[in-house]
Chains A and B, each alone.
Chain A
C-alpha cells in the first residue's frame, strides 16, 4: 500500500499514514463530548424519589381525610335535599290541614260562651257579668289590639 502513496496528490487514500491521520480526525469529531463530562446523575430516578417521598408524605396524613371531607359535603347536601323534600311534602299536607283546623275551629269547645243578654239588643242597664259590667258598658268598650 505504501508504494502507491503517490496517489495522494490525486486525492486518493493510499497510505497508512494518511489513513492514520484521517481516522484520528474522524474519531476526534465523532466522539461525543458528553463522555468527557461526569456521569449525568439520573434525574428521572431522583424525580421518582421525589414523587415517592411526596406520596409518602401524603400517605403519612390520614388518607381518608379528603374522602371524608367529600363524604361529609355529599352527605350534608343529601340531608339538605332530603329535608327540603320532606319539608315540601309536609308543608303541602299541613296547609290543607290548617284549613281543616280553621274549619273546625268554630266547632271547638265553647266553654267560654259569649256573654249576651237574654233580651237581645234591647238597651239594658242590668248587670250581666260577674264584674258588674252592664251590656251597654260592654258595647262601649273599644277593643284595641295589644301592643
Chain B
C-alpha cells in the first residue's frame, strides 16, 4: 500500500488511513512478527510499535507501508531481543482466561500446554513457523501464502505439511500428550 501522506499529525484523513490499514493488516503483521519471536505479546507490541512510529513519522512519503511497518517491527524485535528483557510477565495466555469458569487446574494445564507448543514452535525454522502462523492464525489459503513467501502454492502445501510433521516430532520428544 502506498502512503502518500506522511508526517502530518492531527490530520483526520491520515488518521482514518492508519485506522483502516491497522484493521486490515495488523493481524498479518502480528503473525509475521510472531513467526520471528514466538512470543504473542511481544509480536503484538511490535505491531503497536510499528504503527505508533508510523503515526509519528515525519519523513518522506512511504511508498510501501506494509514493508515499512514490517521493517520497523523487525528492528524493534531485534532491539528487544538484544536487550534480553528480564521483565516478568503473566503466565502465557492467562489474560484470556480472566473471568472464565475454568478451574485453576484447568487454566494451569491449558497454560502449560500452550507453553509446550510455543517451545516446540521455537524449534522450527522461521519459514516453517511462518506458514503455520499464516495458516492457523490468519486462516490464509496456500495461494495467499505463496504470494507473501514468493513461491508456488504447491510448495506452500509441502512446507505446511513438513512443518506440522516437524512440530509433532518436537512435541513428542518433549513428552507432549494430546488430550
| Chain A residues engaging chain B, CB cutoff 8 angstroms | 1, 8, 11-14, 16, 18-20, 22-24, 26-27, 29-35, 38-42, 44-45, 49
Are A29 and B110 neighbours in the complex by a CB distance under 8 Å? yes
Kindly list chain A residues whose C-beta atoms are within 8 Å of the C-beta of B93. 29-30
Are B47 and A35 neighbours in the complex by a CB distance under 8 Å? yes
Are B136 and A39 neighbours in the complex by a CB distance under 8 Å? no
Are A13 and B44 neighbours in the complex by a CB distance under 8 Å? no
Q: Taking each of A8, A29, A40, which has the highest tally of chain B beta carbons within 10 Å of its own beta carbon?
A: A29
Contacts A26-B114, A45-B9 given: A32-B44 contact, CB under 8 Å?
yes
Kindly list chain A residues whose C-beta atoms are within 8 Å of the C-beta of B140. none
Question: Which residue on chain A has the smallest CB distance to residue B28?
Answer: A35
Contacts A12-B172, A22-B178, A45-B56 given: A29-B30 contact, CB under 8 Å?
no
Are A27 and B136 neighbours in the complex by a CB distance under 8 Å? yes
Distance in angstroms from B23 CB to nearest chain A CB is 7
Are A35 and B96 neighbours in the complex by a CB distance under 8 Å? no
Q: Taking each of A29, A30, A44, which has the highest tally of chain B beta carbons within 10 Å of its own beta carbon?
A: A30
Q: How large is the interface on B (under 10, 10 to 19, 20 to 34, 35 or more residues)?
A: 35 or more
The contact of A23 among B19, B52, B164, by CB within 8 Å, is B164
Are B26 and A39 neighbours in the complex by a CB distance under 8 Å? yes
Are A39 and B23 neighbours in the complex by a CB distance under 8 Å? yes
Encode B130-143 as 1/0 by CB contact (under 8 A) with A: 00110111000000
Distance in angstroms from A146 CB to nearest chain B CB is 84
Are A31 and B40 neighbours in the complex by a CB distance under 8 Å? yes
Encode B14-53 as 1/0 by CB contact (under 8 A) with A: 0100110011001100100010000011011001100110
The contact of A13 among B52, B114, B171, by CB within 8 Å, is B171
Kindly list chain A residues whose C-beta atoms are within 8 Å of the C-beta of B34. 30
Are B44 and A34 neighbours in the complex by a CB distance under 8 Å? yes
Are A1 and B178 neighbours in the complex by a CB distance under 8 Å? no
Contacts A38-B23, A49-B10 given: A1-B168 contact, CB under 8 Å?
yes
How far apart sit A40 and B51, CA to CA, in the bound complex (Å)? 9
Are B55 and A16 neighbours in the complex by a CB distance under 8 Å? no
How far apart sit A35 and B3, CA to CA, in the bound complex (Å)? 22
How far apart sit A49 and B15, CA to CA, in the bound complex (Å)? 15
Are B178 and A8 neighbours in the complex by a CB distance under 8 Å? yes
Distance in angstroms from B142 CB to nearest chain A CB is 14
Kindly list chain A residues whose C-beta atoms are within 8 Å of the C-beta of B179. 11
